[in-house]
Structure 1
Amino acid sequence: MTRAFTATHAIDRPAEEVWRLLTDWDRAAGWLGVDRVTAEGPTAAGTRLRFTTRGKDRAAEITAVDPGRSVTVRSQQGGVTADYTYRVEPAGTGARLTLDADVRTRGAWAAIGPLLRWVIRRTDARQPAALDRERAGR
């Protein structure tokens, strides 16, 4: 099993507005739980994202985009590959934001894969709700 979690949050804003906020990488640090994010281009497959967190620089890559609907970001660190797929769907007068996280481990990391997925679930499953709080300025 490689699925770390699925988290869904209803947001009382139109789906188009949620998509704009989701893909505004310059403003994403707060809801992602990192110090800084910069994108090396538009939200498109192949664009690299640079993260700074706890004094360390990390990189990720956008691997898939369905404009207005979904974006997948892949992070690879050593023997760990994590794919985060964010989906925005209309829901009544608002939107539903869903985050699916898939975490694969190999080599020495394989033995602690279940623990690593648990840690990632504990830290990253709150991102959809955090994006909503960030949007509302709370």
Structure 2
Amino acid sequence: MAPLLIRHRSGLPADEAWRRLTDWERHADHVPFTRTTVTTPSARGVGARFVARTGLGPLAVDDVMEVVARHPPSAAGPGRCRLAKRGSVIKGWAELEVGMLGTGSYVVRREDLRLKGRHRLLAPVVNRCGTLLFARVVRRLLAG
């Protein structure tokens, strides 16, 4: 599947946009039928792991993620965070970039989702739905 790309501008300062977008548990507030659980002592920093479980009852899939790089935004440049997807069904990565833009900020989210097995026929649907869903998550997290 081709990586997803989402670009967004916000009136929030970069540090506040970063704080909201890296509050991993709040992402589930904007994804239907999803609950996020942090599985390490802290959700912050390299090595933090969390699981986004989406589904109903036994019909659910876990998106297991680990923070493998994290550099908050500063006057020296934009913040960047990279997540590795380490689940048995969902593989790939996600990257988040947050930088200053005037008195506000910009956000770029890239995500490469790979599903276990031969799901090439589903790739266009997964990409389109993923782009719409993650754009909504970014908008809503930044809105409050």
Taking structure 1 as the reference length, the TM-score comes to 0.76
Aligned 8 A contact 1:99 1:125 in 2: no
Q: Deviations over 1:10-57 (max 9, x none)?
A: 112111110000111231213455521122223222211111211325
Matching of residues 60-79 of structure 1 within 5 Å: 60-68=65-73, 69-78=79-88
Q: CA RMSD in A?
A: 2.6
Q: Unaligned regions of 5+ residues in structure 2, if any?
A: 74-78
The 1:44–1:120 alpha-carbon spacing in structure 2 relative to 1, beyond 3 Å, is: farther
Q: Deviations over 1:45-99 (max 9, x none)?
A: 2211111211325122112111231111222344752211011111122111111
Matching of residues 1-138 of structure 1 within 5 Å: 3-32=2-31, 35-39=34-38, 40=40, 41-55=42-56, 56=60, 58=62, 59-68=64-73, 69-78=79-88, 81-103=91-113, 108-109=117-118, 112-113=119-120, 115-116=122-123, 118-126=124-132, 127-137=134-144
Amino acid paired to 1:120: V
Q: Which deviates further from its counterpart, 73-82 or 20-29?
A: 73-82
Aligned 8 A contact 1:9 1:129 in 2: no
Rounded Cα–Cα distance in structure 1 between residues aligned with 2:135 and 2:55: 21
Aligned 8 A contact 1:70 1:85 in 2: yes
Rounded Cα–Cα distance in structure 2 between residues aligned with 1:14 and 1:36: 28
Q: Which deviates further from its counterpart, 28-37 or 60-69?
A: 28-37
Identical positions, percent:
24
The 1:32–1:89 alpha-carbon spacing in structure 2 relative to 1, beyond 3 Å, is: farther
Give the secondary-structure state (helix, strand or coil) at the position aligned to 1:85. Answer: strand
Aligned 8 A contact 1:82 1:104 in 2: yes
Q: Deviations over 1:102-123 (max 9, x none)?
A: 24578x43xx44743x333222
Q: Which deviates further from its counterpart, 19-28 or 69-78?
A: 69-78
The 1:60–1:135 alpha-carbon spacing in structure 2 relative to 1, beyond 3 Å, is: same
Give the secondary-structure state (helix, strand or coil) at the position aligned to 2:100. Answer: strand
Q: Which runs of 4+ in 1 moved over 6 A?
A: none
